[in-house]
Amino acid sequence: SQKIEQNSEALNIQEGKTATLTCNYTNYSPAYLQWYRQDPGRGPVFLLLIRENEKEKRKERLKVTFDTTLKQSLFHITASQPADSATYLCALESGGSYIPTFGRGTSLIVHP
């Protein structure tokens, strides 16, 4: 069955460092991969989308990579700030589907 894995343990880093979050998947051939941010008690907010034929996407301090051979996406936040503390969800979608499948998310805690 299709499976999306995000590290269930919280990632603790110091302010100013680069945070790297991982999204691995199995039994899936996604055409699109998205990253969302979710704050406690709120709905997710879209951050970035990357397509299967793209290796890397950037937006301000954010960078996403997508390796379809490794079946993995990495999400980087450079110069992290305490305000970046949240849960980050990855979502995969096949080309023939309009339904994204979400991972469980990884909690990021940036310490001042």
Partner 1 sequence: DGGITQSPKYLFRKEGQNVTLSCEQNLNHDAMYWYRQDPGQGLRLIYYSQIVNDFQKGDIAEGYSVSREKKESFPLTVTSAQKNPTAFYLCASREQGAHYNEQFFGPGTRLTVL
**Which residues contact partner 1 by CB under 8 A?**
4, 8, 31-32, 34, 36, 41-46, 49, 51, 89, 93, 95, 98-100, 102-105
SS3 content of the chain, % helix, strand, coil (to 5): 5, 55, 40
If the CB atoms of residues 44 and 71 are measured against partner 1, the closer one turns out to be 44
Cβ distance to partner 1 smaller for residue 13 or 93: 93
Segment holding 36, helix H or strand E: strand 32-38
Main-chain dihedrals φ then ψ at residue 83, nearest 5 degrees: -70, -15
In the complex, minimum distance from the CB of residue 107 to partner 1, in angstroms, rounded to a whole number: 9
- The minimum distance between CB 80 and partner 1, in angstroms, equals 23
Q: How far is the CB of 83 from partner 1 (least distance, A)?
A: 19
* Burial tier of 57 (Cβ tally within 10 Å: 0-12, 13-18, 19+): middle
CA 83 to chain centre: 17
How far apart are CB 89 and partner 1 at their closest, in Å?
7
Whose Cβ is closer to partner 1: residue 16's or residue 101's? 101
Nearest to 29 by CA among 73, 99, 95, 75: 95
Q: Report the residue number, 16 or 95, with the smaller CB distance to partner 1.
A: 95
